[in-house]
Amino acid sequence: MKNIFLFILVLFVCTTLSAQEKLSRFNNLYLQNINIEELPANSRLSDFGPSLINGSLFLTSNNESKSLEQKYKNKVFYDLFSVDIDQEGKVVSTRKLLTELVSEFHVGPSAYNLVTEELFFTKSNADNPRITPFKPFQKRDFNLELIIAKKQGGQWNIVREFEHNNNEYSVGHPAFTPSGDTLIFVSDMPGGYGETDLYMSIRYENGWSLPKNMGSRVNTPGKEFTPFVTSDGILIFASDGLEDGTGLNLYYTLLTDNEDLSIIKFPAPLNSEYDDFGMVVNKNHRFGYFTTNRPGTGDDDIYRIDFNMNMVALKGKVINGFTKTPIEKALVTFEPPVVIPDKIYSDNNGDFSVEAPSGELKKITGSKPGFKSTTIDYNDEPTILIELMPEVMLKLSVRDAETKDYLADVNIDFNGEEEFLSEPGGIITRPIDGDKLYYIRGTHPDYLDNSLSIGAEGEPGLIKATLWMYKGVLGKTFVLENIYYDFDKWDILPQSAVELDKLVRIINENPDLKVELGSHTDSRGTDEYNVWLANKRSNSAVAYIRSKGITNGRITAKGYGENQPYIASPKNEVEHRLNRRTTFTITGLSSSAPVISSVHSDQSAYGKTSTATSTVGRAVVPMVKIKDIASQYNIENPTVTGTNYRVQFYASVKPVNINSRMKEVVEKFTKYGIINQPEDNLFKYQIGPLNSKSAGIEVFDSLVEMGYQVMLLEYDGNKKVKMLLPN
């Protein structure tokens, strides 16, 4: 056999099998118990070219109602019709003419590209009539061409012609590989092996490649036509040149570049002493159709094929692998695609049911956005369970900052959207959105409110975090871990700043809270020196905290030196280190209501003050939607239109008096405007609106230099578009 050129763009099932084994499998599985029956939709003339399209059967048939010019008045032409079918391929409706595709000459057969949702159909090229050898068109005086249509508004609309049509020869009888990237068709173009050959073309971004003859393994000196490719890469076609004097017969082989692979003739009753051609098979190989001119209703008739596979019922359930709750609308697919239906979605209870041929189903895959896809091996179980794990899981520990005990019954608020109570083990595990930043706030009657922010940055996996809760008792003292200073220095080191930021968050979350920050040294050195150094360090830490917007009246500094040792008589370096510590002591828990401020870019004064009160700190407060809070405190969005930029420097679930809390920010950036934006169930404090990204970057850089953690945001009016990188 001669070499052929063939691209393979089909994903084959059971890729570990050899090509010959795949053909044997096709024969053993589908061709051993075939029954056929004539379609009730056949007419008294000619019906052929079956094609499965979106749950319907398209067929090509004589249109006896068509009247043409006088010279064609005795000729009958073909058009496309459709009938509805059930899951077994049985016709359940009368045939319907596709009137939008009717032409004065031949139309059909057709093929549908599932990927591009395009209908390719054969049509007479009336520009240059001639004799064509195509069956059953061989007595018609027209070349054939391929036309492309798409469905719009419930109607098929012609969008263009196939780019390799040619007035000099015919191009027709289309078929697609399952990938949609390869078109196989029939043509009598010059240079072929016989009267008509099979050709293929590959779809690229800029169009279809030049047609390539599929070679002498498939093509003969006679006629090859009506190609079809099954879901597992089996090429089916008709030929009258592989056996002399037998007319058209149906054959199959694997769509491959293996030139030595066999071409196999279908057994009876698919082949007969008559012409048999135009065979198609549905995706899961449950049924198919073919055309024959054996005695029947008309000249050519379409028959339904029942492959009579032994089908078994399969039921399954899809659940959340963490919560064990049902997942609805999860997509379930099967490998190989032999199941009916070939894909299905779980219902409200996570359940699904299908039929599968006994012994043939190998793998089942469940998937849904927000979850990791799961594939399980199937071993003929009557029921299966598919567990899908969320893309990102958060394991949040809620613990007492002093005793390190895990705390139950702490109210945990996620972005003001959901609330949970920590479980008896002090752990909350839940899925989170990998592209979302979470503001997590804990409240308990016996503890100060505290919070933390968590983002997964789009990475799947498990995120672990701890929310430390501090007893809300007047006079209670807590140690701030990991506060370090260089020897004989009091500068705030980067690792110390991280810990001090946690205290800033606690103070912000508890508007009634006042604290004393104490610095303690070990007993080495004079008492006077240690007190002096401790005062330097505590004042330095307090200055850092005040730089974050904490007012003078809410935090004070105290240097204790060696006067309050954690261990009275230290014996080693470890015990000396324990004595060198930074603490904070609760000095005030008065119930004072927050003062609310909303400063807009078009205001000369800083906002409006509300006398409304709120319950803070000491009790679990029912979650209130942000729009209700904004209304309560008389906060309105600024009137802004078009693209604008903002720099966000603070956010809280409670409104705050930004004038006093972050006075330096207000004083420095009031010329740009300061916005209190109720958004995403948070109160967000932003500088802006700014007219350009460059102006936003300038403000961003200034705030970073001041020690703030900020975000540069783009808005359309008052609707956030995205977060920007300051570059």
One DSSP character per residue, 688-716 reads EEESSHHHHHHHHHHHHHTT---EEEEEE
pLDDT classification of 47: cutoffs 50, 70, 90 = very high
| Mean pLDDT in residue range 595-602 | 28
Please tell me the predicted confidence (pLDDT) of residue 10: 35
187 shares its domain with 106:
yes
At residue 702, φ and ψ (nearest 5 deg) are -65, -45
Please tell me the predicted confidence (pLDDT) of residue 495: 65
Residue 435 tokens read as 């592209």
523 shares its domain with 573:
yes
HSE at residue 708, side-chain half, CA atoms within 13 A, is 25
Q: Which domain holds residue 505?
A: 477-589
For residue 218, pLDDT beyond 90: yes
Please tell me the predicted confidence (pLDDT) of residue 472: 84
For residues 121 and 160, give the distance between their C-alpha atoms in angstroms, rounded to a whole number: 11
Tell me the one-letter amino acid at 500. L
398 shares its domain with 427:
yes
| Mean pLDDT in residue range 330-357 | 85
Q: Where are the alpha helices (DSSP H) in 510-549?
A: 527-547
Report the CATH number that the domain containing residue 459 is assigned in CATH. 2.60.40.1120
DSSP code for 196: B
Q: Which residue has the higher pLDDT, 70 or 179?
A: 179
Residue 553 tokens read as 């009246």
Residue 312 tokens read as 């078994």
In a domain, 598, yes or no: no
- What is the layout of strands, in order, in the sheet containing 682-690? 674-679, 682-690, 643-652, 711-716, 719-724
Give me the percent of the chain exceeding a pLDDT of 90.
Answer: 32
- b vs e for 304-316, b when ≥16 Cβ sit within 10 Å of the residue's Cβ? bbbbebebeebeb
Q: Which residue has the higher pLDDT, 293 or 593?
A: 293
For residue 19, pLDDT beyond 70: yes
Final residue before a domain boundary, out of 542, 571, 589: 589
Domain count of the chain? 5
| Mean pLDDT in residue range 104-131 | 83
Please tell me the predicted confidence (pLDDT) of residue 189: 94
Q: Which residue has the higher pLDDT, 218 or 126?
A: 218
Final residue before a domain boundary, out of 323, 355, 388: 388
For residue 134, pLDDT beyond 70: no
Closest alpha carbon to 686 in 652, 651, 656, 657? 651
Please tell me the predicted confidence (pLDDT) of residue 613: 26
Of 3-12, 91-100, 640-649, 667-676, the least confident: 3-12
pLDDT classification of 620: cutoffs 50, 70, 90 = very low
548 shares its domain with 456:
no
Q: What is the pTM of this model?
A: 0.51
Please tell me the predicted confidence (pLDDT) of residue 237: 97
In a domain, 578, yes or no: yes
For residue 67, pLDDT beyond 70: no
In a domain, 185, yes or no: yes
In a domain, 558, yes or no: yes
Please tell me the predicted confidence (pLDDT) of residue 631: 45
- Give the chain's mean pLDDT: 80
Q: Which residue has the higher pLDDT, 608 or 133?
A: 133
In a domain, 148, yes or no: yes
For residue 50, pLDDT beyond 80: yes
pLDDT classification of 590: cutoffs 50, 70, 90 = low
- b vs e for 356-365, b when ≥16 Cβ sit within 10 Å of the residue's Cβ? bbeebbeebe
For residue 558, pLDDT beyond 50: yes
Q: What are the distances in angstroms from CA 460 to CA 371, 388, 415, 433, 439? A: 9, 13, 20, 9, 19
For residue 307, pLDDT beyond 60: yes
pLDDT classification of 397: cutoffs 50, 70, 90 = very high
98 shares its domain with 228:
yes
384 shares its domain with 398:
no
State CA 561 to chain mean position distance: 58
Q: What are the distances in angstroms from CA 196 to CA 133, 244, 387? A: 7, 16, 53
384 shares its domain with 397:
no
For residue 574, pLDDT beyond 50: yes
Beta pairing, strands 674-679 & 682-690: antiparallel
For residues 13 and 15, give the distance between their C-alpha atoms in angstroms, rounded to a whole number: 5
Of 121-135, 281-295, 646-660, the least confident: 121-135
Query: What residue ranges in 485-580 does DSSP mark as E strands?
Result: 513-520, 555-561
Please tell me the predicted confidence (pLDDT) of residue 484: 59
Please tell me the predicted confidence (pLDDT) of residue 164: 94
| Mean pLDDT in residue range 666-672 | 85
Over residues 409-436, the pLDDT tens digits come to: 898 888 877 888 888 889 888 877 766 7
Please tell me the predicted confidence (pLDDT) of residue 592: 36
pLDDT classification of 391: cutoffs 50, 70, 90 = confident
Closest alpha carbon to 82 in 64, 104, 107? 107
In a domain, 333, yes or no: yes
Please tell me the predicted confidence (pLDDT) of residue 59: 94
Q: What are the distances in angstroms from CA 450 to CA 453, 505, 516, 652? A: 11, 7, 18, 11
219 shares its domain with 252:
yes
545 shares its domain with 680:
no
**In angstroms, how far is the first alpha carbon of the chain from the final one?**
63
Are the beta carbons of 226 and 302 closer than 8 angstroms?
no
Please tell me the predicted confidence (pLDDT) of residue 347: 93
Residue 66 tokens read as 């068509």
* Cβ atoms < 10 Å from Cβ of 170: 26
Give me the percent of the chain exceeding a pLDDT of 70.
Answer: 82
Are the beta carbons of 339 and 354 closer than 8 angstroms?
yes
pLDDT classification of 656: cutoffs 50, 70, 90 = low
267 shares its domain with 135:
yes
158 shares its domain with 223:
yes
pLDDT classification of 314: cutoffs 50, 70, 90 = confident
Dump the DSSP string for 74-94.
T--EEEEEEEEB-TT--B-S-
Of 373-382, 532-541, 717-726, the least confident: 717-726
| Mean pLDDT in residue range 488-505 | 76
In a domain, 1, yes or no: no
* DSSP β-bridge partners for residue 171: 187
For residues 407 and 426, give the distance between their C-alpha atoms in angstroms, rounded to a whole number: 5
Residues in contact with 404: Cβ distance below 8 Å, sequence separation at least 6, in sequence order: none
| Mean pLDDT in residue range 334-339 | 78
Report the CATH number that the domain containing residue 510 is assigned in CATH. 3.30.1330.60
Report the CATH number that the domain containing residue 695 is assigned in CATH. 3.30.70
In a domain, 529, yes or no: yes
DSSP code for 72: G
Please tell me the predicted confidence (pLDDT) of residue 135: 53
118 shares its domain with 263:
yes
Final residue before a domain boundary, out of 289, 306, 323: 306
For residue 723, pLDDT beyond 90: no
